[in-house]
């Protein structure tokens, strides 16, 4: 399995980090996990044709994880995609139906150019819960509900032909049973939203304090529903994974200190995600 981090960012807009989006190649097929702001543009940056993706998995329905879904669905259909299955928790059906309501005239206009509406008006929706299990080719896919502010799921992908496995935590704090869910994975892509900050913001990033100055209550609330790098390291160690990828990063986090904090309890490989990060098989 090949993994590409399309977007490694958070709800705070950042030119260097799109919203959450990840592709995994499994048995010759690309699947998309989440579709946050900027996902389609990051696909093009990674030389991924949007029409090649026929399966989308949503961890949850916060805007930094789904805001580009309408863009992806319509753009990939326009480019020639004719099948799409969308997997996700409560709210997934509403998301797809909202697209039909908002863009009904848009789609009819595009059909007037002679395009079939196959692949856009017949999107298949699959509900995800703790009992969810599916397959794509030789890959077994499972889900586990995690602990965030709304219903949220982690996903595990196990390629039975290669023995490779990838787990994406979604947004979560530490939750009982997750280390068992991720046990032995080659790669754990883990929410690390709360972390040590740089002393001096880099010059190539916006000065967000001009626009947004979170108070301590806000920061405390984030800590209730996200993980720190140190907590990510503990999870990775308990799960005995090979590689830990820290993602969902807010502006001004210190990558080196994040890595160091995770390594306090985890002796495997630690990577602080950037948009465009690629992990190639064998993982």
| pLDDT tens sequence across 20-67 | 999 999 988 999 999 999 999 999 999 999 999 999 999 999 999 999
What is the pLDDT at residue 250?
87
**What is the mean predicted confidence (pLDDT) over 103-108?**
94
Tell whether omega for the bond before 282 is within 30 degrees of 0, i.e. cis: yes
Q: How confident is the model at residue 253 (pLDDT cuts 50, 70, 90)?
A: confident
Give CA angle at 57 (262, 7), nearest 5°: 50
Q: Which residue has the tokens 């098989």?
A: 281
Does this model's pTM top 0.75? yes
Choose the weakest-confidence range: 39-53, 76-90, 129-143, 214-228: 214-228
Tokens coding 151: 């219903």
**What is the mean predicted confidence (pLDDT) over 205-231?**
72
Q: How many domains does the chain have?
A: 1
Range(s) of the domain holding residue 132: 2-279
Q: What is the bridge-based pairing of β-strands 2-7 and 53-57? A: unpaired
CATH number for 247? 3.60.15.10
Torsion sign, CA atoms 177, 181, 185, 189: negative
**What is the mean predicted confidence (pLDDT) over 257-279?**
97
DSSP per-residue letters across the chain:
-EEEEEE---SS-BTTBPSSEEEEEETTEEEEE---TTHHHHHHHTT--GGGEEEEE-S---HHHHTTHHHHHHHHHHTT----EEEESTTHHHHHHHHHHHTHHHHHHHHTTT---TTTSS-EEEE--TT-EEEETTEEEEEEE--SSS--EEEEEEETTT--EEEE--S----TTHHHHTTT-SEEEEE--S-PBPSS--TTS--GGGT----HHHHHHHHHHS--HHHHHHHHHHHT-SEEEEE-PPTTB-HHHHHHHHHTT--SEEEE--TTEEEPSP-
Tokens coding 76: 């990939």
Q: What is the bridge-based pairing of β-strands 139-145 and 153-159? A: antiparallel
């Amino acid at each position: 399995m090949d993994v590409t981090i399309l977007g490694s960012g958070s709800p705070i807009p950042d030119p260097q980090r799109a919203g959450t989006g990840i592709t995994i190649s499994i048995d010759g097929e690309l699947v998309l996990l989440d579709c946050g702001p900027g996902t389609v543009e990051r696909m093009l940056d990674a030389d991924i044709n949007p029409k090649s993706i026929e399966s989308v998995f949503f961890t949850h329905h916060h805007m930094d994880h789904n805001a580009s879904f309408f863009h992806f669905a319509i753009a990939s259909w326009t480019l020639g995609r004719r099948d799409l299955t969308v997997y996700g928790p409560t709210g997934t059906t509403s998301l797809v139906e909202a697209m039909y309501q908002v863009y009904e005239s848009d789609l009819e206009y595009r059909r007037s150019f002679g395009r079939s509406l196959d692949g856009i008006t017949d999107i298949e929706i699959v509900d995800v819960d703790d009992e969810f299990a599916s397959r794509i080719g030789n890959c077994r896919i499972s889900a586990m509900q995690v602990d965030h502010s709304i219903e949220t799921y982690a996903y595990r992908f196990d390629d039975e032909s290669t023995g490779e496995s990838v787990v994406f935590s979604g947004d979560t704090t530490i939750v009982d049973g997750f280390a068992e869910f991720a046990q032995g994975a080659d790669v754990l892509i883990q929410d690390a939203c709360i972390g040590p900050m740089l002393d001096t913001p880099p010059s190539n990033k916006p000065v967000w304090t001009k626009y947004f100055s979170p108070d301590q209550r806000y920061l405390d609330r984030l800590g209730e529903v996200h993980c720190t790098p140190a907590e990510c390291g503990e999870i990775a160690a308990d799960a005995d994974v090979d590689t830990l990828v820290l993602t969902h990063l807010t502006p001004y986090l210190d990558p080196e200190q994040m890595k160091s904090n995770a390594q306090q309890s985890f002796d495997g490989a630690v990577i602080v995600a950037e948009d465009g990060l690629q992990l190639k098989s064998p993982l």
